[in-house]
Amino acid sequence: MTGGGIKASVIIVNYEGRADLEDCLPSVCNQSIDDYEVIL
């Protein structure tokens, strides 16, 4: 990513296991923001 872009942090605070994460993460990855981190 080149300068001036948006960086997002996605914090997942409550999930019921792997199945919930498998449902949630693809929707996070498909957002228009290219530079992000996921915090569990």
Which has the higher per-residue pLDDT, 30 or 1? 30
Q: Is residue 15 part of a domain?
A: yes
Percentage of the chain with pLDDT > 90? 0
Q: Is residue 1 assigned to a domain? A: no
Q: Tell me if 32 is assigned to some domain.
A: yes
Q: Is residue 40 pLDDT above 80, yes or no?
A: no
pTM: 0.47
Residue 22 pLDDT greater than 80, yes or no? yes
- Structural domain total, the chain: 1
Nearest 5 degrees, angle CA 32-CA 38-CA 40?
150
Containing structural domain, residue 22:
7-39
User: Over 60: is that where the pLDDT of 12 sits?
Assistant: yes
Residue 31 is assigned to a structural domain of this protein: yes
Element (H, E) at 26: helix 18-29
2 lies in some domain: no
